[in-house]
Structure 1
Amino acid sequence: MDERQLSLLAGAGSAALLIAALGFQAVGYAPCELCILQRWPHVAAIAVALLVWWTGRVRALAVLGMIAAGIAMGLAIYHTGVEWKLWAGPSHCSGTIGNLATMSPQDLMTRLQNAPVVRCDEVAWRFLGLSMAAWNAIFSAGLAIMWGMAAKRAKQA
């Protein structure tokens, strides 16, 4: 497989992950804020793959694809850590709403009404013990490796 095909396959992998996420959403698994944030690097990787397909240039574009997949992986690892309670997530989607002792009832009610429905620190679905965020981290790591291989092959060509 040459570097162009490898780049297109990596972009297709990002497209597959994005389609899967949208499919889960379509059947009722509402995404949290961190879930949605993880989608954007895959959109960027798909755009990079389209540029590879359109221009035939792989060298610099594959590096951009690798960066996009790496960002997706990093966000997914962060989200997985939030789910496993290894570290705190964003306060507005991890269940914390501030210091209740110092809030007025009106402030508390405003915060509760503006709080997102889907929490970032709760797993909605698991497969083989891993959440969607954990699977995204694994697959994104594989895609980053594919993009890196494409970049390396393009430099050798």
Structure 2
Amino acid sequence: MAIAVLLALLAAAAPVFARLSEDLWGLAPCELCLWQRWPYWAAAGFALAAAALPRARRPLLALAGAAVLASGAVAGFHMGVEAGWWPSPLAGCQAAVSPVAGGGIEDLLRSMPAAPSKPCDAPTYLVPGLPLSMAGMNLLYALGLGGFVLIWATRGATTKR
């Protein structure tokens, strides 16, 4: 049970830290940044369910680990967008374009969102001098945490203690 509660806390820590980085340091998230947070909340939910349901602990922890790795997959994709290897398919990550062919500047301005969003291809670096974006940090965190949980769940070390 302790490992499940610990996983829930560690999974929830990632999106909480991301939100705090917005409030404390004024970092603006892009849409892909926001997408990386949802799998962590799912992982926290699976982990709490694993703590409450001892008979289903192993499969629920495996689902939690897979959810964390899903966030890592989004982070890896986001790093590719940041590097310019491929464009983001999300509309909020794209530059505004006129919805009408041959439209004027008024059409372009009307198509823009009320609040500007951060482009997904502009990396955010938390540590000055460290060439690792927030997406890169999330990828490393997700691989470490998700891999640990999946190994823990498959080795059967989740029995009641």
Question: TM-score range with shorter-chain normalisation?
Answer: 0.7 to 0.9
Partners of 2:157 and 2:12 in 1: CA distance = 25
C-alpha offsets along residues 89-117 of structure 1, whole Å, 9 cap, x if unaligned?
Answer: 13533343347993401432222345742
Q: Which SS does the other structure have where 2:64 is aligned?
A: helix
Relative distance call for 1:91 and 1:115 in structure 2 (3 A) is farther
Q: How does 1:1-157 map to 2 (within 5 A)?
A: 4-27=1-24, 28-56=26-54, 57-90=56-89, 92-98=91-97, 102-105=101-104, 106-113=106-113, 116-127=116-127, 128-154=130-156
Count the aligned residue pairs. 154
User: TM-score normalized by structure 1?
Assistant: 0.83
Partners of 1:70 and 1:46 in 2: CA distance = 13
Q: Among all aligned residue pairs of Structure 1 and Structure 2, give the percentage whose two residues are the same amino acid.
A: 30
- In the alignment, structure 2 segments of 5+ residues that lack a partner are none
- Quote how far apart the aligned CAs of 1:154 are: 2.5
Relative distance call for 1:34 and 1:75 in structure 2 (3 A) is same
CA-atom RMSD in angstroms: 2.5
8 Å Cα contact 1:34-1:79 kept in structure 2: yes
Equivalent position amino acid for 1:11 in 2: A
- In the alignment, structure 1 segments of 5+ residues that lack a partner are none
- Quote how far apart the aligned CAs of 1:41 are: 0.2
Relative distance call for 1:51 and 1:113 in structure 2 (3 A) is closer
